[in-house]
Amino acid sequence: MSSLIKRSLSGLVFIIVMIAGLLLHPLGYAVLMTACVGIMVVEFYRMSLADRNRTGQVFGFLSSVLIFITAYTVARNGLWASRFWLLSLPLPVTTAWITVLYHRSEDAFRSAALLFLPLIYIAVPFSIFNFISFNALGMFQGFYLLALFIVLWASDIGGYLIGMGFGQKNGHKLFPSISPKKSWEGFAGSIVFAQAAAFALFKLDMLPFAWYHCMILAFIISVFGVLGDLTESAMKRHFGVKDSGNIMPGHGGLLDRFDGALLAFPVAIVYMLFIIYTS
């Protein structure tokens, strides 16, 4: 099977699973997103820490998953109903710190930074997703998050197509020290395709806001999506790996698929909650 077919099939499966998880049922959404957080944390640890402080990695993994589950229960059931999840959070986090104290190596505390980084880089952004996936009454509205993903996917496609067509040979490099293939032409394509997708979603009432809010959201997602991509590229370059994992043939790991969303969606969701809904 050719690499193009493998890439296309794995990408199609990924999209189908994401659409199903975001539309069918809140428990399906919870399982999907919790699994994504867990897999990405494992990918990050394999890339950064490898065999160092394996016990700490276990508790870092548990902490990250618990952060997401806590945010999910708060968004769906309210703060008081989620108090037991909130009170359980310090246990794995504290235990992870204890493993750092007993991890006897010269770079123990340098490794501790990598141990706790996924909590901020992966678990917190995904936890923020919950506050747009449920309304104030706890009703599931995963189609909002799906709409953001559609805009991000359109942005990625635009960046790839325009970048390949106009930015590879005679184009202007966007950030050559981190990602030599990215160009300003591809970046412009990302913005244009994101705007087109947002306008289509506005017409379909999947983004039921004023048209200019949809355009601003698309701009936020495309710009911060590229920044998220560059951030992960810099991380992989630092650790000397090509992909964060191999769970998706032809695409790499889940961290490679969600890198843009990790930076773009929290900013977009903050804009939706504090600007659109309060205006």
88: in domain: yes
8-22 mean pLDDT: 89
Asked if residue 171 has pLDDT above 90, the reply is no
Contact 130/70 with Cβ under 8 angstroms?
no
Asked if residue 124 has pLDDT above 90, the reply is yes
| Collapsed DSSP state (helix, strand, coil) of residue 206 | coil
Of 139, 166, 186, the position where a domain reaches its end is 139
Looking at the structure, tell me whether residues 88 and 166 fall in a common domain: no
Q: What is the pTM of this model?
A: 0.93
**Confidence tier at 1 by pLDDT (50, 70, 90):** low
Q: What is the pLDDT of residue 194?
A: 97
Contact 207/167 with Cβ under 8 angstroms?
no
Question: What is the domain range of residue 52?
Answer: 26-139
Q: What is the pLDDT of residues 248-262, one digit of tens each?
A: 876 789 999 999 999
Of 123, 139, 155, the position where a domain reaches its end is 139
14: in domain: no
Looking at the structure, tell me whether residues 77 and 197 fall in a common domain: no
Q: What is the pLDDT of residue 9?
A: 84
Least-confidence region, from 149-153, 179-183, 199-203, 269-273: 179-183
For residues 262, 34, 247, 268, the Cα torsion angle rounded to the nearest 10 degrees is -20
Q: What is the pLDDT of residues 33-85, one digit of tens each?
A: 999 999 999 999 999 999 899 999 999 999 999 999 999 999 999 998 888 98
Looking at the structure, tell me whether residues 99 and 220 fall in a common domain: no
Contact 232/244 with Cβ under 8 angstroms?
yes
Of 97, 123, 139, the position where a domain reaches its end is 139
5: in domain: no
Q: How many domains does the chain have?
A: 2
Looking at the structure, tell me whether residues 158 and 250 fall in a common domain: yes
Q: What is the pLDDT of residues 205-234, one digit of tens each?
A: 999 899 999 999 999 999 999 999 999 999
